Structures are given as C-alpha cells and as structure tokens.
Amino acid sequence: MIGGTNWDETGGTTVKHIVLYTKKDCPLCLEAKMNLMLVGELVPLKIEERDIEEKDEWMEKYGMMIPVVEYDGEMIQYGRVDYPTLLGRLK
C-alpha cells in the first residue's frame, strides 16, 4: 500500500482506504456511511469504521466532530458529511 491506496488483485483498479470515525446511536454517522457507500459505487473504497468510544485517544481527538472521514491520513470531512464533497475529494 502506498498512502491510503491499494492495488486490487486484478491489477487495474485502485482501492482507497477510508477510515470513518463513528459512535453508537449517531444519525450523522449513519448518513456519512451511506454517502460513503454511494461514492463507493463510483470510486472503489475500503471503509474501516472505528468507534471512538473504544479508545480514549479517539474520543479526545474526535469526540465533538464525529463523524470524521479520513483518507491517506488526512481528515477530508467531518460533522455533516455530504456526497458531493466526498466524491470530489476521493475521485
């Protein structure tokens, strides 16, 4: 893997590794996940969900910002995560 991008087994398409910081009972997190899934129909994504309640470090860093979407170590969107912004950043 180079940065947040992997080559898939077929050798042609790149798969982007996305980290989605969430927590339970979070409507904005569900909306963010749905928007990521829609973007994933056009851009190959591997989405790793991380519950911020599992680690104090994540809770301190993202507690008031979730959901948080990271790609290649960079926060690309947080709070209200929308489809057009995600697609523009991940294309």
Where do the domains of the chain lie? Answer: 5-90
**pLDDT on residue 5:** 46
Q: What is the pLDDT of residue 11?
A: 53
| Superfamily designation of domain 5-90 | Glutaredoxin (3.40.30.10)
Tell me, what's the pLDDT at 10? Answer: 45
pLDDT in tens, the chain (91 residues): 334 444 454 455 789 999 999 999 999 999 999 999 999 999 999 999 999 999 999 999 999 999 999 999 999 999 999 999 999 999 9
Query: d(Cα 20, Cα 70) in Å, to the nearest integer?
Result: 7
Residue-level pLDDT at 14: 87
Residue 26's pLDDT is what? 95
Residue 30 vs residues 25, 26, 41, 75: alpha-carbon distances, Å:
9, 7, 17, 18
